[in-house]
Amino acid sequence: MATVRDVTFDLLRRHGLTTMFANPGSTEIPLLTDLPDDLNFILALHEGSVIGMATGWAIANEQPALAILHTTAGLGNAVGAIATARLNRAPMVILVGQQDRRHLAFEPFLTGHRLDDLARPYPVWTGEPARAQDVPGAVARAWHAARDLRGPAVVIVPMDDWQAPADDLEIPAPARLRRADAVAAETVSELVDLLTGARSPALVVGAGADGERAWAALTALAERLGCPVWQEAFSARAGFPQDHPLFAGFLSPSRAELRKQLAGHDVVVSVGAPVFRQYQYEPGPLVEPGTRLAIVTDDPDEAHRSPVELAVLASPAAVCELLAEQVPARSGDPDAVGRQIHLPAPPEPGVPLRGRDVLAALAARLPRETVLVEETPSSRPDLHALVPARTPLGFLSAAMGGLGFALPAAVGVRMARPDRPVVAVVGDGASLYGIQALWSAAHYRVGVLIVVLANGRYAVMDQLARGHSAGGSPAWPGFEEVSVRGLAHALGCPAVRINNYDQLVRILDDTLPTLADRDEPLVLDVAVEAAPGTYSG
């Protein structure tokens, strides 16, 4: 007789969940022992890396990934990464093990208490099947929830359920679900009128507009309007080609600076981004009086919390396609708003490397189709200024802002998209939160390039402390003794320590031209000087 495990495996195959990212424990043994050959098991050495790799895989594949976690300890270790996956809108089915159902009442060793609450509110859906035969249906429901709500969905499964007979079993979920992507003309009529009557419109784009169709539609709309296009602050993905003449740069997370940037625009429409992402609190309005705000998004939460005159809840790509057809083309040549990117000159011999020197060297050499995964808070302003995203999925970062995303996410992206070169740019402090992912990269021969900007400290925190008060002194020490190269070697991953510019460009010139074909990871542990100043987002 077929078991619950057999039926669930068939369901996983039907929904394309045949690659599973996991760090197993004893409660997952009945599920994972003697896996069929067509199910691909990927081991990560920490649960944060499990979810981080699955997040990168899901974003790059644009379909749900499958992750498996071990009861309380595994789910608890992964909560931060699950929160990041939710804000990055990465669809994911997470199976969480639980002790044997037959003696849960006695609270045996490794019993998970209130597992349904442990990661709340970050899963988009959580299921705890009442009986073993309900497990396949819960997994199917989780797949639909992850796909439609674009986030992690959790199913908690007692370990004995997998071997239960699959009799009296029904799947309370559709085998196939079709979605309507069309947008009616009346849906955008108010937005058409708003833009048609604008004297000086502007667009703001965000992660929700990252895709080939949305990029094409936004480019057509911006050119029809002849208006500047801004990228939202702290965006996890690029929503517009950043080498386009109409790309104006990145919005500030400061209200005062934001008002200056958008001053003079009477209509601002945000596409695939909230209105507007902030950081430290500042009093005052978001925009100057007289500026009318609208938003286009497929995320209800994003629409509901945006203080706008008009919100359109629909596919950004479909809406912008209609707008580009219906909004009259503006006469005259648009203002020259495109950024001029000027790469800094190489440092003089003997001068310590700065983060921007490394980023400039990368910018001059990165293949156009590179996926750049970022987690270097103190150098992010320089990265945005020097390294434009030129293709969809060209830039990826953690929407949550917590550390530990970039290393595993880069590995997951490259696994899902072996046709794209993948480069992670990571601070040494950030790398320590997800360093275990280097073992998975090496073991599974994932050809990512990881550039670690190593200044031996939490530089962004030092900058924030100095900005908090005149001469502010951080309470935390540096960690110059840590060797990322040594840690990489200990995890079986090739790594090189780089101490000067000539060595850096030599290795980049050797590595980047063939990065798309690379089947082995490489870590560049680059010694850089901590830059002074205050973090600007």
Question: Across the chain, what does the average pLDDT equal?
Answer: 92
Classify residue 386: in a domain, yes or no: yes
Do 303 and 445 belong together in one domain?
no
248 and 147, same structural domain?
no
3-class state of residue 266 by DSSP: coil
- What mean pLDDT comes out for the span 435-462? 91
* Distance (Å, whole) CA 261 – CA 287: 9
Q: Does some domain include residue 432?
A: yes
Please check the confidence at residue 319 and state whether its pLDDT lies above 70: yes
- At 207 the pLDDT is 95
Left, alpha or beta for 456 (phi > 0: left; psi -120 to 50: alpha)? left
**CA–CA separation, 194 vs 278, rounded Å?**
25
**CATH code for the domain of 250:** 3.40.50.1220
* Same structural domain, 83 and 216: no
Using the predicted structure, report yes or no on whether residue 536 has a pLDDT greater than 50.
Answer: no
Among candidate residues 128, 163, 198, the one where a domain is terminated: 163
User: How much is the pLDDT for 534?
Assistant: 32
CATH of residue 27: 3.40.50.970
**The token pair that represents 462 in the structure block:** 């030092």
Are the C-beta atoms of 153 and 142 separated by less than 8 Å?
yes
338 occurs within a structural domain: no
> Would residue 335 count as lying in a domain?
no
> Which band of pLDDT confidence, cut at 50, 70 and 90, is reported for residue 294?
very high
Domain count, the chain: 3
Residue 489 has pLDDT above 90, yes or no: yes
Q: Is the pLDDT of residue 477 over 80?
A: no
- Residue 533: pLDDT band (50, 70, 90) is very low
Q: Is the dihedral of CA 256, 380, 67, 393 positive or negative?
A: positive
Residue 175 lies in a domain: no
* Domain final position from 273, 308, 326: 326
In this prediction, residue 274 carries a pLDDT of 92
| Residue 86: Cβ within 10 Å count | 22
Q: With helix as H, strand as E and coil as C, how does 435-470 read? A: CCHHHHHHHCCCCCEEEEEECCCCHHHHHHHHHHCC
Q: What is the DSSP string of 504-520?
A: HHHHHHHHGGGGGG--S
Please tell me the number of Cα atoms within 13 Å of 112 on its side-chain side: 28
Structure token pair of residue 470: 């005149």
Cβ–Cβ < 8 Å for 531, 439: no
Q: What tokens appear for 349 in the block?
A: 């011999």
pLDDT computed for residue 439 by the predictor: 98
Q: Is 153 in the same domain as 281?
A: no
For residue 81, pLDDT over 90 is answered with: yes
> pLDDT digits over 18-30, tens only?
999 999 999 999 9
Give yes or no: residues 306 and 362 share one domain. no
Contact 441, 45 (CB under 8 A): no
Q: Are residues 309 and 369 in the same domain?
A: no
Share of the chain above pLDDT 90, in %: 80
Mean pLDDT of 504-532: 92
* 177 vs 357, higher pLDDT: 357
Q: Are residues 108 and 235 in the same domain?
A: no
Query: Can you give the pLDDT at residue 473?
Result: 75
153 and 33 in a common domain:
yes
Q: Which of 5-19, 150-164, 472-486 has the lowest mean pLDDT?
A: 472-486
Percent of the chain whose pLDDT exceeds 70: 96
Lowest mean pLDDT among 214-228, 247-261, 415-429, 469-483: 469-483
Residues 129 and 189 in one domain: no
8 A C-beta contact, residue 524 and residue 498 = yes
Assess whether 12 and 66 both reside in one domain.
yes
Residue 230 phi, psi (nearest 5)? -105, 145
Q: Compute the average pLDDT of residues 93-107.
A: 93
The pLDDT value given to residue 535: 33
For residue 464, the SS3 value is helix
Average pLDDT of 98-126?
91
Residue 28 lies in a domain: yes
Residue 487 lies in a domain: yes
If one compares 173 and 416, the residue with the highest pLDDT of the two is: 416
Predicted local distance difference test score (pLDDT) of residue 478: 72
Its domain, for residue 420, covers 355-527
Of the residues 306, 326, 346, the one at which a domain ends:
326
Q: Is the model's pLDDT at 43 over the cut of 60?
A: yes
Structure tokens of 157? 């499964």
Are 61 and 131 within one domain?
A: yes
> 153 with 273, same domain?
no
Range in 129-143, 250-264, 322-336 with the lowest mean pLDDT: 322-336
Domain-located, residue 180: no
